[in-house]
A = this chain, B = another copy of it.
């Protein structure tokens, strides 16, 4: 079915590691990548420490077609992503003239001064292009195979919007979900049997508790939507026959 494109995500932020902030970027970026035909292969969350960022960035960019980073591109002292990624790439940090112009326009429009701190947001690793930011002034940055995004999820969403359709990907992975009020342990053998008959699919089994009842959702993933559908239908029939009425789309 052609080659598989992968991306990694490096989340840069003490606020995630301290438990202060609930991450929302993993799910958001994963879902966006699926649509581009790119699979999220690994995520790392690292602290605001340059050597940790450098190590993670270099490992992840080597192992994947694309690397996304979130966080650490603001104007304050703890925003060190640009410096760390420049260090990882062994290039200097330079001021990007277009980024400077964007910031000048933005602060002129909202009536603020372009202070030295704010100008930090025009700094990029040498050779970088900009990723438009439709929400606030500071752009994202693309350099080598790295996409440097904001930490605030709705700003990242705006940047992703602008990147839609611009990355080379493979066939999007499609999924079909079947749910039933059955403990997954009750149907583990059934799952194994179905899996064997559909080697080009992966079936995930996700137990839950809902309204005091135990149940499971089974997610069939495949590159070929027809294959995923056939596999999910067969699983649904087997669940029905075993006395666990299946719910298309999951519970």
CA–CA, A8 to B7, complex, Å? 22
Contact B26 A207 (CB under 8 A): no
Residues of B within 8 A of A173 (CB): 18
CA–CA, A75 to B187, complex, Å? 9
Contact A22 B18 (CB under 8 A): no
Contact A77 B188 (CB under 8 A): yes
Determine how many copies of this chain the complex contains.
2
- A125 lies within 8 A of chain B by Cβ: no
Residues of A in contact with B, size category = 35 or more
Interface centre among A23, A41, A185, A206 (most CB of B within 10 A): A185
Contact B41 A26 (CB under 8 A): no
Residues of B within 8 A of A195 (CB): 77
CA–CA, A11 to B26, complex, Å? 12
CA–CA, A116 to B75, complex, Å? 57
Q: Mark A46-89, 1 if CB is under 8 A from B, else 0.
A: 11100010000000000000000000001111100000000000
Q: Mark A156-176, 1 if CB is under 8 A from B, else 0.
A: 000000000000000001010
CB-contacts of A165-208 with B (<8 A): 173, 175, 183-186, 188-189, 191-192, 195, 202-208
Contact A77 B192 (CB under 8 A): yes
Residues of B within 8 A of A206 (CB): 15, 20-21
Residues of B within 8 A of A15 (CB): 204, 206, 219
Residues of B within 8 A of A202 (CB): 14, 78
**Which A residues form the contact surface with B (CB < 8 A)?**
11, 14-24, 26-31, 33-34, 39-48, 52, 74-78, 112, 115-118, 120-121, 152, 154, 173, 175, 183-186, 188-189, 191-192, 195, 202-209, 219, 221
